[in-house]
């Protein structure tokens, strides 16, 4: 799922291409894409784009009369910019928005149909689709602490809760926690002030670092290589590979369609965290450390 750094770069690329230009028409091919009724989609036809902004993980394009198109790409949705309408839209094409400057194409891989489009009016409409989490790059340490301690959750869950923090998802939460050297299952109300400050700094540094990397990668062109798995990431998507800090093998916790990646040495004091599926199966036989796991592999 595109998260804060990816969405920021999308927003910047769209600003260069649509602000000051009119939306001529739109073709919606995905029957599950449009999730709102009022205002109607055709209300923005012929209107000039005035603003593009990030709303959490959503991308909002503002038009005359304070009307907004709000895109949520979810896991597999992606945006593309074309000079003109495609001659034959691909099977993955959900929609095409024809501006007088080019065409914004929305695609979604797979068959789950999670990407969404809302047409909303005014700031009130934008607030209705915003989960309300604080902006991590704009908040003070005090505001960050208050959000973190609002409820007692694991750090992984807290960082990815859009009601608490805006724009952070599965991938960058892994990177933030690795940089902060904190366990993904540490409870928020048990953190010391020093640990919270370390997390605050790691959050800002990680997000700023990746925004700059992705800007450099795009080099003024429209971002096409948007993925949750980046080659230079420290832990996310790197299960079994060496930690760039200490060299230990990256471990994971799998749940549903997500997984958390972490370093046993850097983040959990050498303790191997239980994978829900496997630990339920193995119970008392679940290894407690990397050394114990390696010993079992070697003796198998």
Tens of pLDDT, residues 145-172: 999 999 999 999 999 999 999 999 999 9
Domain count, the chain: 2
Determine the pLDDT at residue 1. Answer: 82
* Cα–Cα dist 258/239, whole Å: 13
Please identify, among 128, 151, 177, the residue that sits at the C-terminal boundary of a domain.
128
Beta strand 93-99 with 102-108: parallel, antiparallel or unpaired?
antiparallel
For residue 231, what are the domain limits? Answer: 141-292
On whether both 149 and 281 belong to a single domain, the answer is yes
Please identify, among 128, 157, 172, the residue that sits at the C-terminal boundary of a domain.
128
* Residue 136 included in any domain: no
Q: What is the pLDDT of residues 89-134, one digit of tens each?
A: 778 899 999 999 999 999 998 888 899 999 999 999 999 999 999 9
256 pLDDT band, cuts 50/70/90, is low
Task: Give the pLDDT mean for 19-30.
Answer: 95
Its pTM stands at 0.90
> What is the separation of C-alpha 278 from the centre of its chain, rounded to a whole number of angstroms?
27
* 21-52 burial code (b ≥16 CB/10 A, e <16): ebbeebeeebeebbebeeeebeebeeebbbeb
* Residue 148 included in any domain: yes
On whether both 168 and 58 belong to a single domain, the answer is no
């Amino acid at each position: 799922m595109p998260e804060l750094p990816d969405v920021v770069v999308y927003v910047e690329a769209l600003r260069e291409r649509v602000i000051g230009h009119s939306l001529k028409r739109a073709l919606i091919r995905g029957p599950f894409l449009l999730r709102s009724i009022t205002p109607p989609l055709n209300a923005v036809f012929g209107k000039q784009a005035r603003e593009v902004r990030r709303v959490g993980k959503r991308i909002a394009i503002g038009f005359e009369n304070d009307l907004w198109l709000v895109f949520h790409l979810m896991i597999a949705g992606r945006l593309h910019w074309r000079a003109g309408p495609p001659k034959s839209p691909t099977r993955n094409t959900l929609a095409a928005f024809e501006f007088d400057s080019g065409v914004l194409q929305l695609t979604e891989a797979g068959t789950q149909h999670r990407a969404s489009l809302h047409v909303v009016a005014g700031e009130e409409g934008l607030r209705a689709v915003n989960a309300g989490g604080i902006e991590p790059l704009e908040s003070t340490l005090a505001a960050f602490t208050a959000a973190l301690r609002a409820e007692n959750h694991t750090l992984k869950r807290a960082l990815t809760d859009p009601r608490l923090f805006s724009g952070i998802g599965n991938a960058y939460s892994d990177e933030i926690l690795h940089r902060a050297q904190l366990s993904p299952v540490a409870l928020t109300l048990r953190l010391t002030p020093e640990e919270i400050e370390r997390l605050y700094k790691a959050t800002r540094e990680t997000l700023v670092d990746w925004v700059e990397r992705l800007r450099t990668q795009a080099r003024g062109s429209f971002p096409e290589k948007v993925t949750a798995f980046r080659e230079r990431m420290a832990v996310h998507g790197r299960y079994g590979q060496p930690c760039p800090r200490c060299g230990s093998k990256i471990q994971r916790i799998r749940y549903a369609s997500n997984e958390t990646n972490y370093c046993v040495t850097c983040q959990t004091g050498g303790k191997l965290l239980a994978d829900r599926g496997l630990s339920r199966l193995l119970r008392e036989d679940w290894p407690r450390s990397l050394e114990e796991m390696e010993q079992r592999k070697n003796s198998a």
